[in-house]
Structure 1
Amino acid sequence: MTDTSEARPTDGAAEANRLRRLMRYVPLIAPVLLWAVPCWVLLHAGQDWPPLVRVGGSALFVLGLAVMPLAMVRGHGGRQQDRAAIVGDTLLGAIWVLFTWSVLLGVVLYPALGAADMGDGQDRARAVTWAVLGVTAALLVWGYAEARRVPRVRRIDVPLPRLGAGLDGTRVVLVTDTHYGPLDRVRWSERVCETVNTLEADLVCHAGDIADGTAARRRAQAAPLGTVRATRARVYVTGNHEYYSEAQGWVDLMDELGWEPLRNRHVLLERGGDTLVVAGVDDVTAESSGLAGHRAHLAGALDGADPALPVLLLAHQPKFIDRAAAAGIDLQLSGHTHGGQIWPFHHLVRIDQPAVAGLSRHGARTLLYTSRGTGFWGPPFRVFAPSEITLLVLRSPQRPSGTPAP
């Protein structure tokens, strides 16, 4: 008998190495596919466009393929040039939508027209081209308006079995992923804060990714956060984007604006004779950032808290829920995913995160609420993933029957 116990780990390691090698080429292959597929569908597949249209159109796609990554590197790399970032981000969003609908309509509409015996191949190809262009244009206009508007308030009641009766009806407002950035959104920021102030919150939470850029650079856009009101506390945790932009500067600015940074620590929210532990951890990327003292440390966040009390935890990324559930946390509030931001990107988000949006249960006790985010990152579009300001009303099973909901 041949003993293969030694070979199996070696084979697994070899497979993992091959996968890692392939992943290195993704940043090179993905942009080419994003631009090449629409170019083929719109200009070449079954088409009989005049040579000038085919050559000129193909040249525009090649130009876009060259400009987009260069603009994004100049905009988001060391140079941090806002105009370049706007160009690169806009091209990225536009080509993602164009790619998606080129594939969908090319695969679905073209055969459907053929099955219905509607025209010859050339007619069907032209119909697909105009349909793709029309849908893309409509979605980009709508998606831009969705990204730039003040988010609608999403209210949800959250039952927490360990919540004391005195805390029933506690109003928690969650904003996250504001991503102040190259597009100046000072007025938008002011209107978001005005909306939050209409909600009469006991607790207001910002779950990270305040901005793209340093606190000094984006201070004007973030300054309205200082006007936010809460009857008990305003708390904040870092997101992964803070660690691209001098995270400690953001922690210091939020402290200056009157927010309490929950960096692996907690505060107590007392109401009606009952107490809720409100804890927060640094983002899971904090330790790899190399910034001294920054890491996600749940035990430190709960140090000194009475284990009999219910716990609300702020953690930027939903993937922290595994640690939260193991520790018996009652409710974790997260952002990071943007709900996918531009459909159907949420399918890729699911590869990395256990939840994309909404309320979900993990383990016997722990609930996770994942916000779709208040702002947007990069491409100034939101397609089938609307932004939100979330009002979570905490509910206690001990509330006397017949008591009206606040």
Structure 2
Amino acid sequence: MTDSDAILDRLMSLHPKVIDLTLDRMHRLLAALGHPERAIPPVIHIAGTNGKGSTQAMIRAGLEAGGQRVHAYTSPHLARFHERIRLAGDLIPEADLAATLEECEAVNDGQPITFFEITTAAAFLAFSRVPADYTLLEVGLGGRLDATNVIDRPRLTVITPVSIDHTQYLGDTLEQIAAEKAGIIKRETPVIIAPQQEEALRVIENRASGLSAAIHAYGQQWMAAPDRDGMIYQDDIGVWDLPLPNLIGAHQIQNAGTALAALRQLGATDLQATAAVTQAEWPARMQRLTHGPLVDLAGAQAELWLDGGHNPAGGEALAATLAALPRRPTHLICGMLNTKDVTGYMRPLAPHAASLTAISIPGEQNTLSAAETRDFVTAAGLSARTAESPAQAIGQIVDTDPHARILICGSLYLAGRILRENG
């Protein structure tokens, strides 16, 4: 265990509720720290239900291709906490992370604060001490009351596609959820709006108009679409004729368009636009695993894939991706949290699956058991079996189909376990 691991374990105990949406505790701690959030480089603040991470990765790739230094904050992490904080392009060093966490812990002085809040404060503190040109800030949950929403004047806000998720915290209608996401929009700050359902778009645009925030919405001020063997982006300034995104899936074209619309507002060049779609890296989004113990277990004739999508919109995007791949029997290994709409996630995937093996997510308190996931999957119209572990599930599949395409899916937390287990 590293020093930062020990500190992170202690921070988990400072507030009994994992999620408790309010900004009061965050404002208190940031004031005690000397307001580091006011001293960080210009912020591009990103909210939405799906596509936040991919969009952020493409914006970062584009900015860095132009020689700019970029801080980035994202959550959750997959294999190591350090993934959440990038300082001028590089993952935060262990010594810096441990020192920054300890400083926040000492200043907080044992007062109630959630894990996400205090670690977000630590990220702001780290960002304030390292020079950079931009800070990419991904919302953790919602937007209006998210711990990241303490930036008074971001350079730009971005709303990726909004769909139903986290209803216990954000509301059970699309309009309510969109209102929470739109809470990051600030007065006279341009907002990039990804493709949205009509109900969500109306809420977001009303919020932006009320704050005199310039609107740059898909289908109005910009568009992106597949074109021959690549994609095209177009807005009032001009056209970018680009390769397809290197992140796999048709939905990545809309994520790329959103990133390009943001980059256009930041004065990006043609070279930066190309880099955004061809150089972005974002693990566990339809990621092909090519080496490691689990790949060895699957054997040379099988394919092993990993995806962290976990809500109905994520299931639809994944189903479209599978439909576009070369035909091959696809066997799913699925583990999900008990806060998710499992049937809604699985329903679009069912027609593309030759089989499904349900597992629990190792080490996760809120995991569904393998049997519970199996029962939800059955309700979605797909017969399923269970396994005790990802390795056992892979073994069961390749015993019957050595040429299988195996897709491990259902949760970013499961994806993180797989990446750690696979080395």
Higher normalized helix content (fraction of residues): 1
Same-fold call, TM cutoff 0.5: no
Superposition TM-score, scaled by structure 2 size: 0.30
Q: Relative contact order, CA 8 A, sep 6+: which one is greater?
A: 1
Tell which structure's C-alpha radius of gyration is larger: 1
